[in-house]
Amino acid sequence: MAEEEKAKAKSEEKKPAAKAKKEKPPAVENKPFAEFIHQDYLPALQEALAKEGVSDLEVTLVEQKLPIAGLNSSEESWQVVGKFQNGQRQFNVYFPKKDIKGQRAFSCADNGTKATTLEPFLIDERRITLNLLVFGVVQRLNAQKWLNLN
């Protein structure tokens, strides 16, 4: 039996050690809501819109009532509010549940007026990422022809 144990020990020596798996850092989208918005989303959104030629963008995260003309809602919602062209153009991305993976909506207004339409925002997406949230706003503002003339 001693020989069997020696043979077993030799075969174990020849096997390469299992490679340690590299742990992925947690996704930025898993951060707490306000931390994600302030640290990741707002800077990424500013950078993306700067690449599109928006030089005076101001973006903030606020909790307020929906600023939609004709809508008398008493509920407050978390909103990313973006203003540019000296405040003449404004867009809002709404997060009613303080969760980027929950319901989302979008509105925009021109010439300092209140928005008249509240639209669903990225409702068909299964997985919400930072890049997708930024892309969605850029795409929506392009549809308004606020960034590039089509």
Question: What would the mean pLDDT of 119-127 be, rounded to a whole number?
Answer: 82
CB 135 within 8 Å of CB 121: no
Q: Would residue 3 count as lying in a domain?
A: no
pLDDT at residue 58 is higher than 60: yes
Q: Would residue 6 count as lying in a domain?
A: no
Q: Count CB-CB contacts under 10 A for residue 1.
A: 5
Q: Would residue 87 count as lying in a domain?
A: yes
Residue 12 has what pLDDT?
A: 56
What's the one-letter identity of residue 115? A
Residue 4 has what pLDDT?
A: 63
Q: What share of the chain is helix, strand, coil (3-state, %, to 5)?
A: 35, 25, 45
The string over 63-95, giving b where at least 16 C-beta atoms fall within 10 Å of a residue's C-beta and e elsewhere, is: eeebbbeeeeeeeebbbbbbbbeeeebbbbbbb
pTM: predicted TM-score of the whole model, two decimal places = 0.74
Q: Would residue 1 count as lying in a domain?
A: no
Q: Would residue 43 count as lying in a domain?
A: yes
CA 36 to chain centre: 8
Residue 14 has what pLDDT?
A: 57
Return d(Cα 8, Cα 25) in angstroms, integer: 38
- What does the block give as tokens for 107? 């509105």
CA 110 to chain centre: 23
pLDDT tens-place string over residues 1-32 = 566 665 555 555 555 555 666 777 667 777 88
Number of domains the chain contains: 1
Q: Cα separations (Å) of 51 from 75, 84, 90, 106, 143?
A: 35, 14, 18, 21, 17
Q: Would residue 150 count as lying in a domain?
A: no
Range of 80's domain? 29-143
